[in-house]
Amino acid sequence: MTTASTPGAGATARLLAPALLAAAFAAATVTACDDGGPEHAAAASSTTPTATPALSPTSAATSTSPEELCTRIVAHWSRAMLDSDTYGDYQSMGLSNGQYDILRSVVDAARAVRKRQGVAAADKLIDRQAHKGCVDWYRSGGPGENPWH
């Protein structure tokens, strides 16, 4: 009688390592987006959107403009970078080089406003500056043929 061989502990570890690494990365990414500080929580609670209703079959056909997508991602990462003294890697954020240039400009301006006027004013500035930067960028050609530029 023969028995089926089972993989050893080393083989199991090699098979599970990529899945565990991906899960750890996803958890770190989610928790890195908010430091949970009281000032940030107060500002976030005043600007947190309400839940949107489920999409109906007719509303599912709507699309979001490239300018709006740019604005959303730049504003998101600007808020994440506001309390940091660095900017991070633009490719790991999913940004193009042009979007990253907008982000750095927005964060620099938001840090100055936060010092003078507080978190709520910086939050509003992020929305305005990200929108303006993205609209201007797409008006002048946007990413072109190479989205990383």
What dihedral angle (degrees, nearest 10) is formed by the CA atoms of 60, 131, 41, 28? 70
User: CA 57, CA 121: separation in Å to the nearest integer?
Assistant: 38
Which residues are CB-contacts of 88 (< 8 A; sequence separation ≥ 6)? 77, 81
For 34, other C-beta atoms within 10 Å of its C-beta total 13
The pLDDT tens digits of the residues spanning 17-58 come to 455 445 444 444 444 444 444 454 444 444 544 555 555 555
pTM score, whole prediction: 0.56
Q: What SS3 state is found at 94? A: coil
